[in-house]
């Protein structure tokens, strides 16, 4: 909840169209994502939490929402903002069965 | 191959079972363990049930015509520049759909860099090649044909050659009405045939389904070690015994595997895809570099924990297995080999 409030305050101060940007959490445990699909608003962030005992390498090559978190150690969390509306696919390059479909809307 | 061929939109593979704490002890040569009565073993066995159908992708659904064409292409040596290599040369039913060599042999009889992987159960794979550079069987199919060190036949010459063989035309027409011979259709036909190559029911499957006499007590103990102390199931998970993931298992090899595509990710260096274990006794020698010739040798490698380096998988560690446990593990793995039906070689179009 603290993270949500913080995100809203930051967005408000910024005075941008992302005034209601929120942060969603997706866990990585047992070599699977905590969900297979998620719908968010443009400008929202997803906090990728590695709750596993092994490293992951989360990435997306979807146009406009490309990122590569590199080797993410167990116990760490990394936020990623999604700035382009549409569909994005998030994968783990080490564990290809880990797939997350992200729907980003205005 | 006894599975029903139907389309499955999504197939859910095995779930990692390493976290399941077994209550069954390893008894060595002592009193036989009551595997059939142990609820934890019964629960664990559910993770290894065979699927009842083969998944085909929506963009390349199964048809008998496509599979029949794909089989001919798969066995046709004219898909190589020198007319001597087919897909089956390196992925042969005679060797559990590999080639029995430590490393593959390509154009001009030159040795390749890695062992030829088996295509058995490729239909259930998520990603292909030892380093995962192909995201689908369709993407993979043309790769070896056009690669200069493998079959060395550029795509334009491949098309020219197939179009010059009169009996291929009607086969493509039947499989892809109105579309003709194209790179996409060649790939789709080969991929469709490859998806029909599924391991037969093995003694292990009969045990999973409730026949307590299908495998030996040694193999049953090996199954428990596999899932607990040795934790092989951390990676060799589910009915096909793979997580389709990439791990450095600490072999003394300079090949960086998937690291070529992810140079800045330490855990990708020396990382190769976990192979499945079905038909394993027909698939020696083992490992991506063919460096270990027996299952007993493989057990020794894992028991030692592999070379210590930054990229080594967190899951690799010395296991401290007893001679009995290693022997039990080998007995268990041998129970994964079926009495495979013979594969008929097709008469090729002329």
- The per-residue pLDDT for range B38-80, each reduced to its tens digit, is 777 888 888 999 999 999 999 999 999 999 999 999 999 999 9
Within-domain flag for A97: yes
Closest-CA distance, A36 to chain B, in angstroms, reads 12
Mean pLDDT, chain B, whole residue set: 89
As for how many domains chain A has, the answer is 1
Q: At what angle do helices B168-175 and B183-195 cross, to 10 degrees?
A: 70
Instruction: Read off the pLDDT band of B130 (50, 70, 90).
Output: very high
Instruction: Read off the pLDDT band of B298 (50, 70, 90).
Output: very high
Within-domain flag for A11: no
This complex has an ipTM of 0.76
Over residues B163-177, the mean pLDDT reads 98
Greater confidence (B20 vs A25) lies with A25
pLDDT at site B339: 84
Question: Which CATH number is B161's domain given?
Answer: 1.10.760.10
pLDDT at site B17: 29
Window A:25-84, CB contacts with B under 8 Å:
30-31, 53-55, 57, 70-71, 74
**pTM of the entire structure?**
0.85
DSSP state letter for B226: H
B240 lies in the same domain as B308: yes
B49 lies in the same domain as B105: no
Residue A70 has its nearest CB partner, among B13, B19, B264, at B264
B213 lies in the same domain as B180: no
Within-domain flag for A15: no
pLDDT at site A21: 84
Within-domain flag for A57: yes
| C-alpha span between A80 and A102 (Å, rounded) | 12
Which of B176, B195, B214 is the endpoint of a domain?
A: B195
Q: pLDDT digit string (tens) for A30-78?
A: 999 999 999 999 999 999 999 999 999 999 999 999 999 999 999 999 9
B318 lies in the same domain as B228: yes
As for how many domains chain B has, the answer is 2
B69 lies in the same domain as B170: yes
Instruction: Read off the pLDDT band of B27 (50, 70, 90).
Output: very low
Strand residue runs (E) in chain B:
246-247, 272-273
Question: Which CATH number is A64's domain given?
Answer: 2.60.40.420
Nearest to B189 by CA among B144, B138, B117: B138
Beta-strand relationship, A67-68 and B272-273: unpaired
Greater confidence (A8 vs B175) lies with B175
Within-domain flag for A75: yes
**Can you say whether the dihedral through the CA atoms of B108, B109, B113, B118 is positive or negative?**
positive
Which of B145, B163, B195 is the endpoint of a domain?
A: B195
Within-domain flag for B19: no
Residue B166 structural domain:
64-195
Within-domain flag for A41: yes
Within-domain flag for B24: no
Which of B158, B176, B195 is the endpoint of a domain?
A: B195
B313 neighbourhood in chain A, CB within 8 Å: 54
B150 lies in the same domain as B219: no
Residue A78 structural domain:
23-105
B19: phi then psi, degrees, rounded to nearest 5: -80, -10
pLDDT at site B36: 59
Over residues B13-18, the mean pLDDT reads 29
Instruction: Read off the pLDDT band of B37 (50, 70, 90).
Output: low
């Amino acid at each position: 909840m603290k993270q949500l409030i913080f995100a809203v305050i930051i967005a408000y101060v910024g005075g941008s169209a992302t005034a209601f940007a929120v942060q969603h959490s997706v866990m990585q445990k047992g070599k699977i994502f905590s969900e297979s699909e998620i719908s968010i608003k443009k400008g929202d962030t997803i906090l990728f939490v590695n709750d596993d005992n092994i490293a992951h390498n989360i990435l997306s090559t979807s146009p406009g929402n490309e990122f590569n978190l590199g080797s993410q150690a167990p116990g760490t969390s990394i936020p990623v903002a999604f700035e382009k509306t549409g569909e994005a696919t998030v994968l783990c390059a080490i564990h290809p069965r880990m797939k997350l479909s992200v729907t980003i809307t205005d | 191959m006894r599975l029903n061929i139907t389309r499955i939109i999504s197939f859910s593979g095995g779930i990692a079972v390493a976290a399941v704490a077994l209550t069954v002890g390893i008894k060595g040569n002592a009193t036989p363990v009551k595997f059939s009565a142990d609820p934890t073993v019964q629960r664990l066995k559910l993770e290894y049930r065979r699927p009842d159908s083969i998944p085909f992708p929506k963009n390349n659904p199964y048809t008998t015509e496509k599979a029949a064409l794909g089989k001919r292409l798969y066995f046709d040596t004219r898909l190589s520049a020198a007319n001597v290599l087919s897909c089956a040369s390196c992925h042969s039913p005679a060797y559990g759909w590999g080639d029995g060599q430590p490393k593959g042999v390509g154009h001009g009889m030159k040795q390749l860099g890695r062992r030829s992987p088996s295509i058995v159960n490729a239909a259930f794979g998520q990603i292909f090649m030892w380093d995962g550079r192909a995201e689908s069987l369709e993407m993979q199919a043309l790769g070896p044909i056009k690669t200069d060190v493998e079959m060395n036949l550029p795509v334009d010459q491949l098309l020219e050659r197939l179009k010059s063989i009169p009996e291929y035309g009607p086969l493509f027409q039947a499989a892809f009405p109105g579309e003709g011979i194209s790179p996409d259709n060649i790939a789709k036909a080969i991929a469709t045939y490859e998806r029909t190559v599924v391991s037969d029911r093995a003694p292990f499957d009969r045990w999973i389904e409730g026949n307590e006499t299908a495998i030996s007590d040694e193999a049953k103990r090996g199954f428990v070690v596999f899932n607990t102390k040795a934790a092989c199931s951390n990676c060799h998970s589910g009915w096909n015994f793979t997580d389709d993931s990439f791990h450095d298992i600490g072999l003394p090899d300079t090949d960086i595997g998937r690291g070529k595509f992810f140079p800045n990710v330490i855990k990708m260096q020396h990382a190769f895809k976990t192979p499945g274990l079905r038909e394993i006794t027909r698939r020696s020698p083992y490992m991506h570099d063919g460096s270990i010739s027996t299952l007993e040798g493989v057990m020794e490698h894992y028991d030692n924990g592999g070379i210590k380096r930054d990229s080594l998988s967190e899951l690799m560690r010395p296991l401290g297995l007893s001679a009995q446990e290693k022997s039990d593990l080998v007995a268990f793995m041998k129970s994964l080999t079926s009495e495979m039906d013979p594969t008929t070689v097709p008469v090729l179009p002329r």
